[in-house]
Structure 1
């Protein structure tokens, strides 16, 4: 069953946001090497067990907000389901090389959510 597998946090000042979440939730961040300022993090549940992971990076658009990504078997199939149920695709299937595929959608109430298909062979 699809569930939240990744939380993506958009920030005007990623370092400031990273510090906020480190202090607030004790999340541990790891910088991703490269040109883009982006950090991965792991969360823990109330009992200290591994929780949902995510990323934090520079806001790309003024309307970009925190987005929960649901793990699915096929981004393509779920994009069709989203539209058939009255939702909208606002960013079509996009490859994240060596990680998988994503899409960003709106539900019928204009809430943003993402679809994520893990695929280490994604190019």
Structure 2
């Protein structure tokens, strides 16, 4: 353990996804589900009179966090939020506004760990920005049972691509398949994708989703169901990429799992 304790935090380049966080209706239930599904360990920290913030760890390294929504967030759906690392939360929030986004929560300090804001892009998808201070973000990424990809589902990919490339300086590459998929690069790192919401997906608000890498897509999907979760898309092959499934936890938060054929995303 001493090795882990002395390790420096993983650095996240500005413009890269650095953190994932679950807002749930049942903290203890969510902790049980994810710890049994992915082997994550939960570490609770009180952050207010009635609120606990739970760090989720894998082999002693942070993989994300969860918290139980209070009255103030009653209207916010149960969801996994994606955070992008930035040099200045204030500058990026102002820039996002100028590019047609809505700043849902203006930049604010999270004690001494960082400064953040919540933004809705011009197509309606929410994401968070994180200006790191003491806390850089996840300590493990792209490995089994950790975050490996973030994906925007939107009704207007063209507008979304225009917005994010201007906001974060991302580069994009769109394939010309039956369902076009746009890959996002932050510098040389392939960090995520953008895709049009398809009719067969049903009524769905634009959203940023997370992918957790697994070594057995079918086994993990089956286990999620046995733990009270739900399969929205059963295990499905993506040629030359891997096998993925779209799941939700017992409280309704949607997430993706993927067994990658090639570690070409990292």
Is the aligned partner of 1:79 residue 2:217? no
CA shift in 2, pair 1:94/1:30, >3 Å: same
SS in 2 for 1:16: helix
Map residues 33-112 of structure 1 onto 2, 5 A cutoff.
Answer: 33-43=176-186, 50=189, 53-60=191-198, 61=201, 62-63=203-204, 65-112=207-254
1:27 aligned residue (149, 156, 170): 170
Task: Flag structure 1 segments of 5+ consecutive residues without an equivalent.
Answer: none
Partner of 1:15: 158
Residue pair 1:14, 1:37 contacting (<8 A) in 2 also = no
Give the 4+ runs in structure 1 shifted more than 3 A.
none
Q: Give secondary structure in 2 for the equivalent of 1:108.
A: coil
Query: TM-score scaled by structure 1?
Result: 0.82
In the alignment, the residues of structure 2 paired with residue 74 and residue 24 of structure 1 have an alpha-carbon distance, to the nearest angstrom, of 36
Shift of 1:33: 3.1
Name the TM-score, length of structure 2 as normaliser: 0.40
Please state how far the C-alpha of 1:7 moved relative to its aligned partner: 1.3
- If asked which structure has higher relative contact order (CA below 8 Å, sep 6+), I would say 1
Task: Measure how far apart 1:15 and its partner are.
Answer: 0.8
**Bigger CA radius of gyration:** 2
Equivalent position to 1:2, from 145, 157, 172: 145
Structure 1 residue 118 displacement after superposition? 0.9
* 1:42-98 deviation digits (Å, cap 9, x = unpaired): 347xxxx94x61110111143153221100001011112211221111110011011
Conserved? CA contact 1:39–1:56, under 8 Å: yes
Q: 2:257 aligns with which of 102, 115, 119?
A: 115
Q: Equivalents in 2 of 1:54, 1:72: separation in Å?
A: 17
